[in-house]
Amino acid sequence: MNDPSHAVDSSELAATLGPILVQHCGGRLTGASWFRSTWQRGGSATAFATWHADDGPIPVIVKVPVGPTEFRWTRSLGDGSDRHAPTPRVLAGDDRLGGYDLAWLVVERLDGHTLTHEWTHDSADDLLQAAAAFQGRAAQVASPTAPPPPLDWDRLIQRARDLARESALPEAQHWNEAVKKVQRALPRLVQRWQARPINAWCHGDLHPGNAMRRMPASGPTPGDATSPARAPCVLIDLALVHAGHWVEDAVYLERQFWGHMDQLFGLHTVSVLARHRREMGLPTDGDYGAVANLRRLLMASIAPVNMIAGGGESSPKYLHAALETIERILPQFAH
């Protein structure tokens, strides 16, 4: 089936399919103002608009097209009537539009900025609470299945060592020695990682830039639990959702602050996520600390590769913290 997004840019896509989408929504969608957002690629478009629900107008965002993973999970988790959903509420959406296989969504527009603009101890804790709520809600939709295809750890670790040998890194010789030790243990490490329990759907990209707050419909009351500082967190950008172990989201968040751990305000992300899961009645069985350390070790070992690839992990402080992580954790897996 044809996909018009391969043939037109975002402005053409909006002009071509915008009127069809408005018609498809039966008059509930009005005032669409289309724009090209910084996170979008190729032929995709986004619009601010208004959705006219039975109980009044709702500011919304229209996205077309939407990738299959993001479409599935945003639609599955974002019940339009649930103001407590851990992801944006979906007012409308389908995987076809105007005779094309083209997924689109109309989701609530959240006010304000992402948590990056208000990053505090409380917002870090709230983000992890939202992650637990996300994991719990996702498990109700479907049981976690097989994890995504494994990374080519042999190639990535070898590339990290090559970078160290080329002296392309701060502390290059130190890196060479550390990664060499990881290489020796790698078959055992990968085997253990692949054998981890697959017990959750992970968000896959958990960081402050992928969370916003949902204010109550009546607006905040200063000093109460719904004030802007503690309104519930909502996770956005579900394109990397995957089955895995629940600690993966916590370790992912922690890694964003390697070299700047003070910005986690003393919170231990794995322990905090575990606490929130228990409070929600979600399991935290097994030695999840060992799983978390294994993930830290493997990801620390390929930090140089992510640096060269432009993965945002390029600061000397980050690399030094990754190196310290290798030296701290590797002895735990020596046998």
What tens digit of pLDDT does each residue of 229-245 get?
A: 689 999 999 999 999 99
CA atoms of 119 and 146, how far apart (whole Å):
34
CATH 3.40.50 assigned to domain 4-108? The reply is no
Q: Which of 27-36, 53-62, 68-77, 199-208 has the lowest mean pLDDT?
A: 27-36
The tokens 């208004």 sit on which residue? 50
Strands 104-108 and 200-202, sheet pairing: unpaired
User: Where in the chain are the domains?
Assistant: 4-108, 115-333
Inter-residue contact 240 to 99 (CB < 8 Å): no
Ramachandran region, residue 281 (left: φ > 0; alpha: ψ -120 to 50; beta: rest): left
Confidence of residue 158 (pLDDT cuts 50, 70, 90): very high
Mean pLDDT over each residue of the chain, to the nearest integer: 89
> CB–CB of 221/241 below 8 Å?
no
Mean pLDDT, range 164-173, rounded to an integer: 88
What integer is the mean pLDDT of 119-146? 96
Sorted by sequence, the CB contacts under 8 Å of residue 191 that are 6+ apart come out as none
Cβ-proximal residues to 48 (8 Å cutoff; 6+ apart), any chain: 31, 32, 33, 35, 59, 60, 61, 62, 109
Could you tell me which CATH class the domain 115-333 is placed in? alpha beta
- The residue to which tokens 């478009």 are assigned: 45
> What's the pLDDT band for 312 if we cut at 50, 70, 90?
very low
b or e along 191-205 (b: 16 or more beta carbons within 10 Å of the residue's beta carbon)?
Answer: eebeebbbbbbbbbb
Instruction: Indicate the SS3 state at residue 33.
Output: strand
Confidence (pLDDT) at 45: 84
The identity of residue 230, as a single letter, is R
Q: Are 179 and 160 in contact (CB under 8 A)?
A: yes
> Counting beta carbons within 10 angstroms of the beta carbon of residue 49, is it exposed (0 to 12), middle (13 to 18) or buried (19 or more)?
buried
Q: How would residue 308 be classed by pLDDT, with cut points 50, 70 and 90?
A: confident
**Proportion of the chain above pLDDT 70, given as a percent:** 88
Taking the C-alpha atoms of residue 304 and residue 157, their distance in angstroms, rounded to an integer, is 9
The confidence score (pLDDT) of residue 196 equals 97
Predicted pLDDT at 16: 78
Q: In this model, does residue 7 exceed pLDDT 70?
A: no
Mean pLDDT over 162-177 rounds to 90
Q: Kindly indicate the confidence band of residue 309, based on its pLDDT and cuts at 50, 70 and 90.
A: low
The secondary structure of residue 315, as a DSSP letter, is -
Closest CA to 102 of 215, 225, 14: 14
Distances (CA, A) of 295 to 64, 92, 176, 280, 329: 35, 38, 20, 24, 10
Average pLDDT over residues 192-212: 97
Q: Which of 112, 190, 132, 200 is nearest to 156 (CA)?
A: 190
Q: Which residue has the higher pLDDT, 66 or 2?
A: 66
C-alpha–C-alpha distance, residues 269 and 203, integer Å: 15
Q: Is the pLDDT reported for residue 51 higher than 80?
A: yes
The set of residues, in sequence order, having a beta carbon less than 8 Å from that of 195 and lying 6+ positions away, is none
Of 154, 162, 163, nearest to 183 by C-alpha is 154
